[in-house]
Structure 1
Amino acid sequence: MEKKTVLSNFEIMSFALPNAVSAMVHLIPVMYGMMFMTEYLGISAAAMATAMLVTKLMDYGVAIFAGSIIEKTHSKKHGKYALWLRITTFTLFFGSLLQLLNTNSIIPSSIGRLIFVSIFYCTLHFGMNFRATSQGGLLQRMAGTSMETRKILNARNGQFSAMITIIFGAITIPLIEFFGGNFGEANGYALTIVVYGALFMALSFFMLFPVMKKYDIPREKAEIKNVPPVRDMFKSIITNNQMIVMFFMITSMTVGTQIYTPLVAYYFNVVTGRFAVMTLLLTVQGISAFLFSLVAPAIARKLGKKGTLMFSSGLSLLCYVGIWLLGLNNLWALVVFASLIKGAEAIYRCFAINYFLDCGEYGYYTTGQDNRTMALTVMNWPIKIGFMAGGTAVGYGLALIGYEAGMVVTDAFSRSFMMLFGLVPAALLAITFLLAMFAYKLTDEQSAFYAAENNKREAAMREAALNAAK
């Protein structure tokens, strides 16, 4: 029987709200970074794609080892995950800010500007490897073995994220245009990040840090000595068949998303020439995501984890096809499909971290080796591959269909753009859907059983250690 964990509403909010607000900071370079490089820094699409490929390969290398580094790092003052959440609070803010700094006046060469952006791209994304793993680890610390509490933390995180998406969508472009109008068009992005970053830092210091200090206490050095060797950690992943399935499912989903997301800005700024109208899309889909997040926990609970994966990927697949077929000439069709994609994401987020925790619990139960932190690290790998493959595909895809800054848009270019924008993500979501239907096997009941049995095993090991010390 699972152990119930009672968290106060403030503790739940302290876990979810700073994480949701952090997205306001790093989403700006994710959504506008590529367009910023080509439109304001004078970097060609092909050069941008090459730099993205190199930096994202490096980023993926860091992602592979992030979990083992977290396991091996000792701090007398901070817990295993709390230490990295503190460090990455700063890398997230400064990495986002300096990617969108207008360096035209201080770096004369476009290649030099590209290198500068790439350095701080790495600052942000290297840190996000450690942050995402640590966020999942803190959830496990706060919830213990209670599957219900894990669902609550995931769901509340999704609800806050959806609420923040509304705010982000409604005010980001107006803020960029306000600051750009007063301080130079290319400076609007960085100044908007400063505003969002100040809020994120305040929430981190006054909410997240005190709560994680309570639940994630510092480890003794002796505890770190018992951490499995790195080779055993990796072996635990490649021999975990459900982890492999989960990895491929979320990778295909994320690559599709990361092709679509940066192209939204190009759709409005280049293809339609109505950049300000993007505010409408972001606001409406933000409201939709929030409304979906209110009912998502009930939907996800009824569907179960496997059903949720099939429903969310299937809905997104249909919407991307709709964007490809109808989005060019019908703005409202685009808004509806984009909003439904956000709704599908809200339902998926109810279990997002839990999917990988479940695979970790399954691996621990079947092998007797606790590599749940490594399982949470695998959660980052699809994200990194998504940024790498998606970003590279966007850059080379735009170059392939003839995009150049300031170009005259033709009908042929628009049709090719919509295939890149909608059809390619749809094909990738089809892979996720098929894997969820035929290859994912862990049931909700099995996951709860594995977590409870692992908790009993840990309790027995602690008792044995105490008896041996007497």
Structure 2
Amino acid sequence: MNKLSRSDIFNYAFYMFTDSLVVVMPLGYMSVFLTDNLMMSAALMGTLILVARLVDTVVGILSGGIIQRAREKGTMYSKWITATRWIVSVGVILMFTNTTGTPMAVRCVLSFIAYCMVNCSMNFVQTSQFNILAVMGGASMENRNKLAFRGTQFVAAASILSSLITVPLITGLQPVVGSAYSYMIVSVIYAIPYIFGCHFLAKACLKYERASTVSVGPSIPVREMVKSVVTNSQLLILLVVNSISYMGTFIIMTLAAYYFIYVLGNFMLMAVSMTISTVFGLFAAIVGPKVGVRLGKKRAMVIGLLVGVIGQLLIFFFARNSVVPYVIIGCCASLAGYFYLGFGANYVLDCGEYHFHKTGKDNRAVAMGMMTFPIKIGLIVGGAVGSFGLAVIGYTAGMAPSPDFVSNFMIVFSLIPAALSFIAMLVMLFGYHISDADAARYAKENAERAAAYVAAKAAADSAENTLPSN
């Protein structure tokens, strides 16, 4: 097995850095671009994104099984990353292309296509990346955590960079090229590094893939892949927890730009807030995972979600008139969030190891494919609540917000995410039972089982080749 080198850790983390940059515009600015630049109504925007996310979810569910099948036939995980990076990059740029000179139907179709290009491709990229974590880290929990934690730190660095430059770039370019084109230029700036990030990750992981026993085993029928998900109780609990949590997250992300424009009345405050929060987030990304290791994965997530609940309640009461409480509360919640966010894909990987250990059937790639499922559910439900919530409370582009509008907005923006985080915390507390010690034992014994299978298969092949021919 190849030793995990510093350069390989860097390449893994650099990919996560560029991945975080390429999704900045789709996640944070697509909604406001569609309503305030392509002049879609909030209801139309919400419907378009909802349909696109449903398609994305179906692809996400299928991606793990497709990758598992391809891996059994010799297709490396790195191939998916290099093959789809171009589709993702072009899709991000198309998503923010100025189509105001075309009929509304054309704008909707192009936006739908762009969304599907980005997110459907990301299903294969991210599932492959999660499996690469297992391949590069091997059975060592220390190596897996090392990759995940360094990746988290690079994600925090990307957040700082994007917070510093995104809004200033958009607003600075608007007088020169116009509002719509300013979004497109920024999307190009973020799409280019992603192409290189994918290249470096694929190059770094290739030698580990060639030597790895991950996904080495007898071919597994599709029905068994499906069964491996529905019978993996701990994976199902984790999917429920993450789905509910992401619903709240994407409500906030959908409405964040509107909060600064219409509640605080100053879009530039978004850059100030995000810069301070993400600079602190880098500190949190370094300190938080260390606290998380001491707490253990389960307790880390429970405490992190609980602090998030308290933070959203405080934002509802104290962040309507000033950005200062919003930033302070957000920083505290960020530190607690990194207690568990630093573990990244290791939660799902633990569930995959658990099921492999329990059944003897290696469907870890399928389990890793399900990691994107909660994100899709969060995008669908959270995005819909945010988008249609705007329509329900009477939002129109360029409006002068009334006190009632602000009050109703803060209910959607803060109280609903708080309630969702509280439910997620309870499910995690009472439903998840894999300890860190159990996960380490499962990984070790599964690696031994996979190695034994490889040795037995090699011996059988050797014996077959030495049989005398008739």
For the criterion TM > 0.5, the same-fold answer is yes
Quote the residue 1:183 is aligned against.
177
Per-residue deviation at 1:12? 0.2
8 Å CA contact retained: 2:81, 2:198: no
Distance 1:90 1:75, change over 3 A: farther
Report if aligned partners of 2:160, 2:275 keep a CA contact under 8 Å in 1. yes
1:297 aligned residue: 289
Root mean square deviation of aligned Cα: 2.0
The answer to whether the aligner puts 1:41 opposite 2:38 as a matched pair is yes
2:136 is aligned to 142
> Which amino acid counterpart does residue 10 of structure 1 have in structure 2?
S
Q: Distance in 2 between matches of 1:83 and 1:181?
A: 42
The alignment partner of 2:345 has SS state of helix
Q: SS of 2:210's equivalent?
A: coil
Question: Which of 80, 86, 98 is equivalent to 1:84?
Answer: 80
- The answer (yes or no) to whether the contact 1:49–1:392 under 8 Å persists in 2 is yes
Supply the distance in 2 between the matched residues of 1:176 and 1:331 (Cα, whole angstroms): 20
Query: Are 2:320 and 1:328 equivalent residues in the alignment?
Result: yes
Matched, 1:66 2:66: no
Alignment partner of 1:213 out of 198, 206, 214:
206
One-letter amino acid of the counterpart of residue 463, structure 1: A
Shift of 1:347: 2.5
**Which letter maps to 2:353?**
E
Distance 1:347-1:20 versus aligned 2 partners, 3 A rule: farther
> Cα–Cα, structure 1 residues 144 and 224, in superposed 2: closer, same or farther, change >3 Å?
closer
Match of 2:107 in 1: 113
- Corresponding residue number in structure 1 for 2:90: 94
3-state SS of paired residue (1:180): helix
Q: 1:273 Cα deviation (Å)?
A: 2.2
Other-structure match for 1:274:
266
8 Å Cα contact 1:43-1:111 kept in structure 2: no
Contact 2:217/2:453 (8 A) holds in 1: no
CA distance in 1, matches of 2:451, 2:62: 29
- Within the candidate set 131, 147, 161, 2:125 is matched to 131
Is it true that 1:264 corresponds to 2:260 in the alignment? no
1:122 to 113, 116, 119: 116
**1:447-458 pair list within 5 angstroms:** 447-458=439-450
Q: Contact 2:79 / 2:202 at 8 angstroms: preserved in 1?
A: no
User: Is this contact kept in 2: 1:37–1:43, CA < 8 A?
Assistant: yes
Q: Deviations over 1:162-201 (max 9, x none)?
A: 1111111011111112222221121111101212222222
**Unmatched tracts of structure 1, length 5 or more:** none
Shift of 1:297: 2.5
Report what 2:153 is aligned to: 159
Q: Sort the Cα spacing of 1:466 and 1:372 in 2 relative to 1 into closer, same or farther, 3 A.
A: same
CA contact (8 A) 1:71 1:224 kept: no
State whether residues 263 and 321 of structure 2, in contact with CA within 8 Å, keep that contact through their aligned partners in structure 1. Answer: no
SS of match in other structure, 1:252: helix
Q: Secondary structure at the match of 1:328?
A: coil
**Distance in 2 between residues matched to 1:456 and 1:219, nearest whole Å:** 12
Distance 1:401 1:10 in 2: 51
Deviating more after overlay: 384-393 vs 410-419: 384-393
Cα separation, 1, equivalents of 2:249 and 2:289: 22
| 1:11 has 2:3 as partner | no
Which sits farther off after the overlay, 411-420 or 7-16? Answer: 7-16
Q: 1:219 deviation in Å?
A: 10
User: Unmatched 5+ residue regions in structure 2?
Assistant: 464-470
> Percent identical across equivalent pairs?
34
**2-side partners of 1:224 and 1:354: how far apart?**
20
1:413-424 pair list within 5 angstroms: 413-424=405-416
Instruction: Give the AA of the match of 1:89.
Output: R
- Alpha-carbon deviations, 1:287-320, whole Å to 9, x = none? 1110011112210111001111111111111111
Shift of 1:235: 0.4
How many angstroms does 1:218 deviate by? 10
Q: Which amino acid aligns with 1:100?
A: F
What amino acid is the match of 1:12? I
Q: CA deviation at 1:75?
A: 10
| Alpha-carbon spacing, 1:347–1:79, altered in 2? closer, same or farther (3 Å) | farther
Give me the whole-angstrom Cα distance separating, in 2, the residues matched to 1:58 and 1:224. 31
Task: Give the whole-Å Cα distance in 2 for the aligned partners of 1:344 and 1:41.
Answer: 38
Cα 1:179–1:53 shift into 2, 3 Å: same
1:351 Cα offset (Å): 1.4
Q: Which amino acid aligns with 1:85?
A: I
TM-score (norm 1): 0.94
Shift of 1:216: 2.3
Give yes or no for the alignment of 1:199 onto 2:184: no
Q: Which amino acid aligns with 1:384?
A: K
